[in-house]
Chains A and B, each alone.
Chain A
Amino acid sequence: MVARNTISRRQALRTGAGLAAIAAIGAPSILHAQTRTLKITTWGGKWGEVMKGTVLPAFEKEFKCTVSADQAFPFVPKLQASPKNDPIYDVLHTNSNEQWNSFTEGLVMEKITAKEVPNVADVYPWAASDKIVGVAIFTSAIGLGFRTDKGLTKPTSWKDLADPKLAGARGGYIIPVNSLGQCHLMMLGKVYGKGLTDLDAAYKALEALKPIKLVDFTGQMEKMLLSGEVSMGVIHDSGVYRYEGPNMQPVDFASPSEGVMALEQVLNVTPGSKVKDLAFGYIDYMLRPDVQKMLAEAVWYSPANKKVKLDAKYDEKLLTTPAKVATLIQPDWKWYNARKEDIDARVTKILKG
């Protein structure tokens, strides 16, 4: 006699629910085992377009992973709030001052070497100097942007910004919140005093720049220059050079003789990252000559990799030779950050009213 092996509706539902539960619990780990996710920070604007449209899809394809890119500021407070052993980011992309803050709090590694990232062997010394934590992948030069239709002669010195003719028509930054403003303050110490750390001379020179129009972001400075709201202002070279060709505007960039300050784009890995190999792989990828060329020419950034050959019009203006790179001055952000609270209070009082 053969027993009839029937399944009741209740049994079928129970079995189905059990399988669904197993699938729900098991599926993410199975998927995770197949496709890993790299969590990074990155900029928006034109940079973000190129990253999301070309660079990241190619990286995902080659490394068989997915990249979760956060473009919403501020990055460091989010990293601060996440557990160190399971950080919100695997790779932190910020300017150098924020990397130093993050390093001080143990949120990122100190150095990225050629051992972890082979392409570091090919970078200019500035990109892995003692002024950098992590590794810099690009830099801009902070100098003076100016209108070419206002009868101004091309500035040759940082002192040209103090020309009385520019009263109310010169532009700077709200120093506590902007690293270009912080660089400018240090440069004032060098130009009017004993060096980048001569804060007393810098404060005095800052006072003398009033009336000055101040903004939070470089994008606002670009708009003020383009609209003619200011005739001369502190800005990085890429913020001016990108308005070339069909976007041509009556603005130009000048590198003062005292030197230009470096605005580095720095990548670093979080010590608690669960996908460190992928994180190092990403930094190595970003330092590849072809990727460097693509991004440098898209946003007018000077590449860190010495082997990059840019097209002539970019090569002419960007820092692509040892001689040009020698004009870069790298601020000591460790020194600055240790005094930031006092500096913020002092410049706030100077610039208020």
Chain B
Amino acid sequence: MTGGTRPSPIAWLVAPAALLFVLFFVVPFGVMAMMSFYSGNPVTNPNAFATTRHYERFIFDTAGIFHDALWSTLRIGLVTTVVALLIGYPLAHWMARMQSRLGHALVLMAVIAPMLTGIVVRTFAWMTILQDKGVINTLLIQWGLIEKPLPLMYNEFGTVVALVHIYVPFMVLTLTGVIGRIDERLEQAARSLGAGRFRAFVEVTLPLSLPGILAGSLLVFALSISAYVTPSLMGGTNVLTLPMLIAQQVGTSFNPNFAGALGVILLLVSLVIVVAYNRILARLSGEQGMA
């Protein structure tokens, strides 16, 4: 008689990642979600009681800023993702089809190079370019093309520009791997059967690269909606996102319970968008459960 079934070696290899996920996501998120249903910290404050008031505060939004902040967060995330995809896809396609190893290595280095610099530094670099007395406005005024500085910063435009620059490498690296695995002969076969370059791309390469588009988009979307530093610096007072509100609730209003509720709401809304996006792409590609 043998004992119980032994866990497979793969399970042991996955265990550290699973442990990390549980310790650094499931547990903190669980604590945050629990806190969002209390009036205070139930561990340190014996008078804390269970309540749904933080969610009611968000839903009824008598202050008139929370719904705007959520919409602004999602809008910035979606626009950043679309622009990063439009910039990243051609670059990734070019890299994946590049014959020269040296050329591929050089382009790869160029894509990765900005990631070696901190987000704060890159954001400050954009500030020196886009602010009223920045490089662009100063040059345009000097050349007599404009009289007043263009509003390039302290708005959603400047925020998206900086976020796209920061997150395009994530899109490119994700797409390059997927496009590189698509058999070029499929495209050649389509062309030998009379399809033009564009039609072969649209009907063969693009559908086969949908898993990469999905993965890259989800990555960039998740990073964009949770960004704090860049919207704070580039958006000024004209941009208010949920991560900024959450930081404000924790750091200056000392209300971690409402911050927790905002975190849960952001996660739930994002999950709904991600699931919907996954289904639409799966339907478009004729596959189910791509991700």
Among the listed stretches A49-57, A231-239, A305-313, A339-347, which one makes contact with chain B, having 4 or more residues with CB under 8 Å of it? A339-347
- How far, in angstroms, from A177 to B237 measured CA to CA in the complex? 12
Verify B237–A214 contact, CB threshold 8 A: yes
Interface set, chain B 127-150, CB cutoff 8 A to A: 133
With A101-B254, A177-B252, A341-B63 as given contacts, are A84 and B236 in contact (CB-CB < 8 Å)? no
- How far, in angstroms, from A104 to B175 measured CA to CA in the complex? 53
- How far, in angstroms, from A345 to B44 measured CA to CA in the complex? 28
Mask of B9-24 contacts with A, CB within 8 angstroms, 1/0: 0000000000000000
With A348-B65, A348-B240, A349-B65 as given contacts, are A176 and B254 in contact (CB-CB < 8 Å)? no
- How far, in angstroms, from A43 to B274 measured CA to CA in the complex? 43
Verify A77–B251 contact, CB threshold 8 A: yes
Partner of A74 from B40, B133, B251 at Cβ < 8 Å: B251
Mask of A58-77 contacts with B, CB within 8 angstroms, 1/0: 00000000000000011011
Q: Does any Cβ of B come within 8 Å of A205's Cβ?
A: no
Q: Which residues of A contact B253 (CB under 8 A)?
A: 176, 340-341, 344
- How far, in angstroms, from A157 to B93 measured CA to CA in the complex? 63
Secondary structure of the A contact surface, majority rule? helix
Q: Does any Cβ of A come within 8 Å of B260's Cβ?
A: no
Q: Does any Cβ of A come within 8 Å of B211's Cβ?
A: no
Closest CB in chain B relative to A18 CB, distance in Å: 32
Verify B63–A176 contact, CB threshold 8 A: no
Closest CB in chain B relative to A283 CB, distance in Å: 23
Q: Which residues of A contact B50 (CB under 8 A)?
A: none
- Which of chain A's residues has its CB closest to B258's CB? A341
Interface set, chain B 7-48, CB cutoff 8 A to A: 40-41, 43-45
- How far, in angstroms, from A255 to B279 measured CA to CA in the complex? 63
Verify A342–B44 contact, CB threshold 8 A: no
Q: Does any Cβ of A come within 8 Å of B238's Cβ?
A: yes
Q: Does any Cβ of A come within 8 Å of B64's Cβ?
A: yes
With A77-B256, A214-B236, A353-B238 as given contacts, are A83 and B44 in contact (CB-CB < 8 Å)? yes
Closest CB in chain A relative to B130 CB, distance in Å: 14
Interface set, chain A 318-353, CB cutoff 8 A to B: 340-342, 344-346, 348-349, 351-353
Closest CB in chain A relative to B142 CB, distance in Å: 18
Q: Which residues of B contact A353 (CB under 8 A)?
A: 238
Q: Does any Cβ of A come within 8 Å of B109's Cβ?
A: no
Closest CB in chain B relative to A168 CB, distance in Å: 8
Q: Does any Cβ of A come within 8 Å of B51's Cβ?
A: no
- How far, in angstroms, from A73 to B250 measured CA to CA in the complex? 11
Mask of B237-255 contacts with A, CB within 8 angstroms, 1/0: 1101000000010111111
With A176-B248, A341-B253 as given contacts, are A349 and B44 in contact (CB-CB < 8 Å)? no
- How far, in angstroms, from A345 to B69 measured CA to CA in the complex? 11
Verify B251–A229 contact, CB threshold 8 A: no
The 9 closest A-B CB pairs, nearest first, are: A345-B63, A74-B251, A351-B237, A177-B252, A214-B237, A101-B254, A345-B65, A84-B44, A77-B250
List residues of chain B with CB under 8 Å of any chain A CB: 40-41, 43-45, 63-65, 133, 232, 236-238, 240, 248, 250-256
A-B contact pairs, 28 of them (CB 8 A): A73-B251, A74-B250, A74-B251, A76-B254, A77-B250, A80-B44, A81-B41, A81-B44, A81-B256, A82-B44, A83-B43, A84-B44, A105-B45, A174-B237, A176-B248, A177-B251, A214-B237, A341-B63, A345-B64, A345-B65, A346-B63, A348-B65, A349-B64, A351-B237, A352-B237, A352-B238, A352-B240, A353-B238
A77-B250, A105-B45, A348-B240 known, 7 other contacts, Cβ within 8 Å: A74-B250, A74-B251, A77-B256, A83-B44, A106-B45, A342-B63, A345-B65
